[in-house]
Amino acid sequence: MLKKTVLHNALKMWTHGDFTVRYWDGDEKNYGDGEPQFSIVFHKEPHMKDLKLTTDISLVLGEAYMDGIVDFEGDLDDIIDNMFKMQDSAAKTYDLKALRKKMTAEYERQEKTNIQYHYDIGNDFYAKWLDPTMCYSCAYFQKPEDSLYQAQINKVDHSLAKLSLKPGEELLDIGCGWGTLIIRAAQKYGVKATGITLSKQQYDAVSEKIANLNLGRQVRVLLLDYMDLDPALYQFDKIISIGMFEHVGKEFLPLYLHKVSTLLRDKGLFMLHSIMGFQETLTNAWMKRYIFPGGYVPTVRETVNYFIDFNFYLLHMESLRRHYAKTLTHWYENFEAIKDTLPEEYDDRFKRMWGIYLSGCASAFRTGHLDVVQFLLSKGPNNDLPMTNEYMYPEECPVEK
């Protein structure tokens, strides 16, 4: 009776999963709150010394199996999965409520102001030196001779290909810019795409595009902070975020990843595309004041370190550093070509500021002080994807303009 009581108390601590135990005296007990996934069958009593020497139930069960005392019935994957989950986790814990409260009180209003400071300069201003896609993020040059327009289409297609999209799936784009990605995702893959932005001018432009293309049933844009998306109302199969992570702020990176995790369905894929620093350091003071107030460029090291804490599995990581250097060079040359046509409110000081910003960033990527990385993550393990990564690199038809 004592052995059974000791075992029962130990098995009650195995809190992950639902299972049945059949004891050596014929007694049967269920553990957990749901339908049992597997059974542990004791053919005879285990050795009392084993129960006294360890509190690790995996050691007790493993040795009992070796001695022929116990067998398992059911899917071995379920059994092993639960044993791993019972091991002490090295994952960090965060006071997410306190972080959210701090963000609301000290940062959120300023964040909206910061985004609008940079992105609401004027759609006409950006249209003069960006390409027709209005993509304001790293392009992807499949061929050296690719135009900027072709390279931006390549980037959108390359990013979407990684998500293995299926018709009817729901896709969220956090920081959707001028909407090229969500529109192309709907047209090419037949998904239902939602984009969010804090820029009023971007929101207006994307809304107009959706209406003009008659995509209102398939695509929507929301003028909304990502933290205000309610997981009870919004759940997505796939989430993508390009060039937004840099605006979150160092302190709130865990809050961002937690939010994404709550919005993503189990086995869902998340493609995070962000500028990365080579070393952890403070944001450049000039950039912080004049270009991206409130921004923080994380490193690969600190970013990857967060993934496990929010049940994200890293499937693929790719550096696009040289692609961004080339993208910025295109932008700088375009800007220099049109700067004298800008309205009077864009004075010489403004033009010099933007010129050194674009050319200086190109140099920072070329010299390796900045990188841009795409991380493909799954929420929990996903065994339904192709076994190799060839699917991420489909042959694309050229699109010239």
Integer Cα distance of 313 and 311 in angstroms: 7
Alpha helices in 120-173 (DSSP H): 123-129, 148-162
* Tokens 């047209």 -> residue: 187
Strand order in the sheet with 236-242: 219-223, 192-197, 170-174, 236-242, 264-277, 370-379, 312-319
Among 135, 176, 361, 397, the one annotated catalytic: 361
What does the block give as tokens for 151? 């390279």
Residue in 96, 38, 367, 69 with CA at minimum distance from that of residue 251: 96
Integer Cα distance of 238 and 168 in angstroms: 11
Integer Cα distance of 301 and 277 in angstroms: 9
Contact in structure between 94 and 253 (CB atoms under 8 Å): no
* Tokens 């999963």 -> residue: 17
Angle, CA 185 vertex, CA 182 and CA 191 arms, to 5°: 105
**Catalytic annotation present for 138:** no
**Cα 215 from chain centroid?**
26
Pairing relationship of beta strands 170-174 and 192-197 according to DSSP bridges: parallel
Contact in structure between 246 and 296 (CB atoms under 8 Å): yes
Contacts of 238 (CB under 8 A, 6+ apart): 163, 165, 169, 170, 171, 172, 191, 264, 268, 269, 270, 271
Integer Cα distance of 143 and 133 in angstroms: 18
Residues annotated catalytic, as ranges: 361
